[in-house]
Amino acid sequence: SPSDPDLVARARAAKEKLGDKVFVLGHHYQRDEVIQFADVTGDSFKLARDAAARPEAEYIVFCGVHFMAESADILTTDDQKVVLPDLAAGCSMADMATAEQVAECWDVLADAGITDVTVPVSYMNSSADIKAFTGKHGGTICTSSNAKRALDWAFEQGEKVLFLPDQHLGRNTAVREMGMSLEDCVVYNPHKPNGGLTAEQLRAAKMILWRGHCSVHGRFSLESVEDVRARIPGVNVLVHPECKHEVVAAADHVGSTEYIIKTLEAAPAGSKWAIGTELNLVRRVANAHPDKEVVFLDRTVCFCSTMNRIDLPHLVWALESLAEGKLVNRIQVDRETESFAKLALERMLALP
Ligand code: 13P
Ligand code: SF4
């Protein structure tokens, strides 16, 4: 939607009034009307790092989803306040792994006698509780830009990985980047007794993948790749690693949102690209490169509905409230959870 000039002026004025007291982070899936006010934009990894690098900002306004704001709160000082302009901006994938379910899974692994050799690796897209579980059990967080390095690290610590909660990122990284086979991976279904797996299956597996997925990236199919190749000869297919294995296997390039942007910046004029990720980002990339042909991998419109909840009216409300000295929509992780989650996040930040 085009930016309302009145709201644009109000956001600008509130931000000016706040000055250095506020730092606005914008994930690449945010709307244009919001992204124009971001002091920095990035993928999940870059935003976590940048949030931690702003100790002078009293307020961190996070234009993204809940788990990102939680991670920013964990990585910033106790005096800093992280604000999420709409509290309903969650992530359906993060919601697919609850603390209770994961604790139950760990019991199942203990019954199979494998907890001593299993290292949890949790995708950034998870709640602070899951990150705390990960830290407590000697594991690390990863994002789509460092999943291979996180898995390399984990396999130096143990023999198996419990990968939470995105089965696709886990499988794609293991098979595409680490030479494992599909048979090395099993899927733990939290809705089935014992995850739907036998102790023998758990003992034989190298990767125990949680049965979670992203509803946005789940829309892309092998058929969408075949269709676009037939429609646009010479097209380069570039997808996010949250897509299904068969989609990633059929693509030419795979990477995080930041990688997608950088790849298009480096691409020669006249080149053709079909991109499999959230639509705000694909549109922005297409607009930034009128000299290249950039299309959405699937013809059905696909925004991330929770990312899109952060719109200009919500951002204006948050900024104006802060400018008036009213703290709204603070995301605060409790201390106990924070200390263990921080361990896991710091392991990620220390990855080579
Ligand atoms: P990245 O920006 O790290 O690639 O992650 C994409 C995503 O799904 C965030 O929710
Ligand atoms: Fe969650 Fe998928 Fe939206 Fe990312 S794109 S926030 S993984 S639902």
DSSP line for 169-213:
HHHHIIIIIH---GGGEEEE-TTSGGGG--HHHHHH-SEEEESB-
Burial, 199: exposed, middle or buried (Cβ in 10 Å; 0-12, 13-18, 19+)?
middle
Phi, psi angles (nearest 5°) of residue 312: -60, -45
Cβ partners under 8 Å of residue 331, min gap 6: 62, 66, 69, 70, 72, 73, 82, 83, 84
Residue 136: domain span: 94-213
Alpha-carbon gap, residue 99 to 80, rounded angstroms: 26
Q: Are residues 180 and 222 in the same domain?
A: no
**Minimal CA–CA distance to 44: which of 242, 194, 180, 212?**
242
The answer to whether residue 250 is domain-embedded is yes
Mean per-residue pLDDT for 77-101?
Answer: 98
Q: What is the DSSP letter of 44?
A: H
pLDDT in tens, 95-118: 999 999 999 999 999 999 999 999
* 205 and 117 co-located in one domain: yes
The answer to the question of residue 237 being in a domain is: yes
- The model's pTM: 0.96
Residues 26 and 58 in one domain: yes
**CATH no. for residue 68?**
3.40.50.10800
Q: What is the pLDDT of residue 2?
A: 64
CB of 125 sitting under 6 A from ligand 1: yes
Q: What is the pLDDT of residues 146-205, one digit of tens each?
A: 999 999 999 999 999 999 999 999 999 999 999 999 999 999 999 999 999 999 999 999
* Percent of the residues in the chain that have a pLDDT greater than 90, as a whole number: 98
Distance 63 CA to ligand 2 centre (A): 13
Q: Are residue 203 and residue 99 in the same domain, yes or no?
A: yes
Residues 147, 222, single domain; the answer is: no
Q: Is residue 345 included in any domain, yes or no?
A: no
Whether residues 144 and 196 share a domain: the answer is yes
| Percentage of residues in the chain having pLDDT higher than 70 | 99
Quote the ipTM score: 0.97
Count of domains forming the chain: 3
Which residue CA neighbors atom 1 of ligand 1 most closely? 43
User: Ligand 2 — pocket residues by CB below 6 A?
Assistant: 65, 91-93, 125, 214-216, 242, 278, 304, 306-307
